[in-house]
Structure 1
Amino acid sequence: MEVERKQSVVLVPYLLQGHLTPMLQLGSILHSQGFSVIVAHTQYNSPNYSNHPQFIFHSMDDGLKGFGMSFPSAPLRNYLVRMMEEEGDQLACIIYDNVMFFVDDVATQLKLPSIVLRTFSAACMNSMVTIFQQPEKYFPFEDSQLLDPLPELHPLRFKDVPIHVINNTNNDIGSSVATIWNTMQDLENSMLLRLQKHYKVPFFPIGPFSKMVPLASSTNKPPNSVLYVSLGSLVRIDEKELIETAWGLANSEQHVLVGYSTWLCPWLSIEMGTTKQVLAHPAIAGFFTHCDWNSTLESICEEVPMICRPILADQLVNARCPTQIYKVGFELEVMERTVIENIIRKLMLSEEGKDVKKRVVDMKQNIVAGMQIDGTSHTNLKDLVDFISALTSRLPPPTPVVGVIMSSNHTSSKCIRES
């Protein structure tokens, strides 16, 4: 169906793949709702334009040589000034990854409404906010406390504190008028409610973004017979863990598909499709994962139980969700070949593994229901479209009113409800 073009939105993603992918998925969602989508991105790790012919791309001269977050604001500001002159009131807002917090300053200078995209889970964000409010309750801590529960953050332990994220991510949303989440209200409702009380702006949990474009892959293995192993493209593990993991996989005597990863073969490049494409295949029975939030959502959406091996940042918090809250996976905390072998066999062959599979199938059905007409994600997407359509780029962003989460043009109290 031909969709009438509405206003334009400018997306500013962070350059790491786990951030870039959901931002581009959000762009596809907004484009399907009639918005023109402009992606202003860094030159480093720039997206593949041919995969998104419906977008307008603008590469900024960032001068970045690696995965740093020091990003000069002048190129973005100059580009937006030109855009506002050309687009006028058709330029509705700028949506930026929460790591790119400098974007809010630029948007404020130009009186352009801004919206934050949270690519982390609400559980991770809630842990960060809670720790920031009373850091003396959590830091410093001794090695003897690593397995002790974190106050007010069950089921997290001191060893699960996302230190890398806390050290590198700005929690403040500045003058942004709303927050978009790649999660579901049905999945993280209590966390979202806590965070909305803290930030006091409309929340739009419209995920999982990846379910908007179902994909498939091919293999000749029987259904539910293959363990997919992928620890991402960024993390490198030491030689001892690599050897123990390899022996554990081999000794389990299960079919194993290992995704391309710099920790395994930094010199190797394999085109084997996206994680979602692999997980969607009926041969996949389990997912050995580092538990970034995209992978966690994709695994649940494709009914694939997990072996969780978190390594850094938000992965530590995310891993506690499928293993301790949703109970759709097992956490791997001792990197020794016998332990790895046993946990693979438990997932792939045992009755306990079958129970985990049943729970993840049930979770998937709840997610599907939330994406149907009148489901939570579908309703929140409609609210988001109405919200963005009501924004006017030439006016200053509205000042949030403490205790009231709505604007004159939009009753956003519908976005997060008590259930």
Structure 2
Amino acid sequence: MARRRFKLFRGLRLQYNLLVRVVVLGVVGWLGYNLYEASLKPVRVGIFFPTSGPAALEGRVARDSVLLALKELENSVGLLHRPVDVITVNPGLQADMRIAQMRSLLEEEGADVVFACLTAACLRELEPVANASNGLIVYPFADIGLDGGSHTMTTGSLPNQLLLPPMGWAAERFGKRFYLVASDSLYGRVASEVVRHEVKRLEGEVVGEIFLDQDFSDGTNAANELLRAAPDVVLNVVVGDANVALYKALHAAGAGNGQIPTLFFNNAGRLGFESIGWEAVAGNFSVSFYDADNRTEVNRQFIKAFKRQFGNSAMPGPWSESAYASVMVWASAVKRARSTNATAVEAQIEGTVVEVPSGRLEIARGSHYPVRQPLVAEISSSGVIATVWRAETAVEPHNNAIAMPRADWDRFLDDLYRSWGDNWEKPGR
């Protein structure tokens, strides 16, 4: 009787083990199939930069550099062994159109990430869309900060990194009478407040400022006003074609060759200066975070790829490098997350460290902004842009309370938004 019971139990155990094996093999097969299916699913990448209008040059630079980085990524290590699908959108002129386009990219097209915007205003109007759609926007350029940065990542800079250190250098070299030339934009208005606070700290003087619309085309009056003010140095935070008219007029008035030196903060590098004319910008200075002459292996490979893509005479500038680097930082966070899901990637952004063409780029702890080391390069009439100064150390991003308390900034931004008809851009821009 005992022997029969033993045989019965042994038979049941064998059937149980067989069932377990079948279930395990089924689960493994199901997981394997799903992993295989996921590996075939493309990574959907949106590109959202203007390629027409006043900022078309900067937009094309950003678009082409992101595309180059994605191409290099696919040709080298790849991204989670998945192909990459790119959806390119030329943003509309009106805010409501841009919001609808971004919503379509994230919700209908299923973009895992969108590399977007040339301005802080664009980013600010689209961030709520990314929040609502649980998407991710990567912004490669200068931002104002003053917000949480939820569902966004910036690889550019904040005002305390881009504006302040070079202003100290300029005050020592040229003097403390400053003149601000800015786009009449969210960033331009914030920059004005930051500049005024810093000039006061430097015991200097703001002798004038002018805000230029994107359709600004006759630089004569603005040039004459600037010359009458006789500043020691001009701080220029203009984005777009407005610089062309102003600096051609200044050159025509005999103010070329750096007689009144300008620090260009938001510039596309060689392409931007070529559009103005080398003679008109010679003797002035480019402020950025990228020295194309640095000899790191990452930069060497970047320049090699850039020339292969755009021609042997082409050289990348600050906007090219920043857009290219933004893809590298995002891809690093994707690999750490082992997913392209926006929430998973966002959780990995803080503390990301990547070797990019400009050097070591680290996203600061507690933020979605990078640590940055600004430099100043002198522009020659022959097109050479040579670094003459670099900050001694990298600068942490200060998201709040530069120039005034956060509560005052909130009131300032709210007043500006309301004065522009509940919009982050001035009406008519």
Q: Where on the TM-score scale, by shorter chain, does this alignment land: which range?
A: 0.3 to 0.5
The TM-score normalised by the length of structure 2 is: 0.36
The structure with the largest helix share of the pair is: 2
The TM-score normalised by the length of structure 1 is: 0.37
Whichever of the two has the greater Rg, that structure is: 2
